[in-house]
C-alpha cells in the first residue's frame, strides 16, 4: 500500500464548477501538506502549503487537512479552462527533507 493515495482521474468538469481533489495517507507523522499544479511538460508549481489540521484559503483555492481521518483536500471555486492540469498532493513529516507525493489527479475543465 502506498503512503499517499490519490485518484489519477481524469476528472472532467464544466467551467465554473467547484472542483474537489483529495488525497489520503497512512503515515500519522505527516504534518506538512502541499498541493502542486503541474501543466504538461512543466515543473510543478506550489499552490498551497498548510501545517497540521485546518483550512487555508487563497483566492479560488482552499486547502483542508483532517489529520484525524488522514485526509486532505483542495477545492477550486469557479474553475476555469486554465485550471486544466495535473494536481499533486505532497506531504512530509518533521525532520524529513524529502516529500512524499501522490500520483497526481488530472483535471480537465471544459469551456
Partner 1 sequence: GAVVSQHPSWVICKSGTSVKIECRSLDFQATTMFWYRQFPKQSLMLMATSNEGSKATYEQGVEKDKFLINHASLTLSTLTVTSAHPEDSSFYICSARETGYEQYFGPGTRLTVT
Rounded to whole angstroms, what are the CA distances from 44 to 4, 15, 38, 65? 18, 23, 4, 21
Stretch that binds partner 1, among 14-22, 41-49, 54-62, 66-74 (CB under 8 A): 41-49
In this structure, what is the dihedral angle of CA atoms 76, 14, 6, 86, given to the nearest 10 degrees?
Answer: -80
Q: How far is CA 64 from the centre of its chain?
A: 9
Binding of partner 1 by 21 (CB under 8 A)? no
Contact region with partner 1 (CB under 8 A), list: 21-29, 54-62, 77-85, 87-95? 87-95
Binding-site member from 1, 14, 41, 68 for partner 1 (CB under 8 A): 41
Minimum Å distance from CB 64 to partner 1?
17
Which region, judged by CB under 8 A, interacts with partner 1, from 18-26, 58-66, 68-76, 96-104? 96-104
**Where does this chain bind partner 1 (CB under 8 A)?**
32, 34, 36, 41-46, 49, 88, 90, 92, 96-99, 101-104
Amino acid at each position: 500500500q502506498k503512503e499517499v493515495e490519490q485518484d489519477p482521474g481524469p476528472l472532467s468538469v464544466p467551467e465554473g464548477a467547484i472542483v474537489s481533489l483529495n488525497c489520503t495517507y497512512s503515515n500519522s507523522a505527516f504534518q506538512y501538506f502541499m498541493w502542486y499544479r503541474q501543466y504538461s511538460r512543466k515543473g510543478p508549481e506550489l499552490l498551497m502549503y498548510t501545517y497540521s489540521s485546518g483550512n487555508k484559503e487563497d483566492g479560488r483555492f482552499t486547502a483542508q487537512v483532517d489529520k484525524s481521518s488522514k485526509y486532505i483536500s483542495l477545492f477550486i471555486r469557479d474553475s476555469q479552462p486554465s485550471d486544466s492540469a495535473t494536481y499533486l498532493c505532497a506531504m512530509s513529516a518533521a525532520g524529513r527533507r524529502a516529500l512524499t507525493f501522490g500520483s497526481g489527479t488530472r483535471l480537465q475543465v471544459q469551456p
